[in-house]
Amino acid sequence: MLRNNRPVQSWAKRMIHTAPRLKLQDQYTTQGIPGLLSPNGFKLAWIDQQNYLTTKLTLLTNGTSDETRYPFHIAINSARDQTKQPIFNVASQCHNNHFFFEQLTSPLTNTTSPSRDLESRIIDRFGSLDGLKKQFIEESEKIIGQGWVFLVETESKSLEILIVNNSGTPYNFSGNLSLDLNGPINSDEFEAWEAIKEHTLNKTTDWTIPLLGVSLWDHAYVLDYGVGQRAKYVGDALDAINWEVVNKRVYV
C-alpha cells in the first residue's frame, strides 16, 4: 500500500515497560545497601522483582493505550475498574517498589534529614522522628501477609500512616486495600469500609500523597532478615531513608 508514493508500514511500534535504573544501582548491585540489604537481597527485591513486574506489565498492556503510560498512571486509571484488576495489581506494584527503592541510602552513612517544615509536622503528629519510627513499626505488624506501609500527607496537610494490603495504592480510596477482607472484620473496620464505599460511590476526589513507604513483601527482607524479623527490617529501612528525596515529595 502506498501513500504519497511511500510505503505505509503495516505494523505499529510496541512499547516495552522496563525497570528504571536507580542512582546508585551499580554500587548496590556489588555491595548491597550496607546496613539494610546484602547484594543478593538487593538483587532479589529490586532487580529481579522489578524486571519481573515490568515484563508482566508489558504483556498485560501490549496493544492497548496503557502500553505508553507509566505504571503510576496505569494504577490510578485502573484502580476503580474491576475488569482491570490484574493490570492494576502489577502497575501498582511496579510504582510502589520504585517509590520504595528510590528513597533508600545506606543507614550506615545516612546524614540526610527532613526539611525544617516537614520535621516540625512530624514532631507535632508523632512527637519525634523516633515516635514516627515506633508507630511505623507498630502499624507494619498489623499486616500478616504482604503489603506496604506509607507516611502520607492528606488534603488538610496532616500526616498519617497508611497500611495497604497486597498491591494496594496509597493514592486512591478504592484501590488502597487498607482493609483485609479475607476474614471477619470488627465494627471499626466495618465503619472504615462503609466510608470507603461512600467515597467511591460519590466519586470523591482523592487527595492523599505518599511521602515515604516501606515494602512489607517477603521478598524485600526475608533473605537477609529471616522469618519473624519484619520489625527489625522496617526500623532499618526507616534509618535508610534519604530525606532529600522525601522532602521533594511534599506537596507545595
pLDDT digits (tens, 9 = 90+) for 24-74: 999 999 999 999 999 999 999 999 999 999 999 999 999 898 999 999 999
DSSP codes, 187-236 = HHHHHHHHHHHHHHHTTPPP--EEEEEEE--GGGTHHHH-TT-HHHHHHH
Query: Considering the entire predicted model, what is its pTM?
Result: 0.83
Neighbours of 205 (CB within 10 A): 8
**pLDDT number for residue 205:** 54
**Domains located in the chain, CATH noted:** 24-249 (3.55.40.20)
Mean pLDDT of 133-156: 93
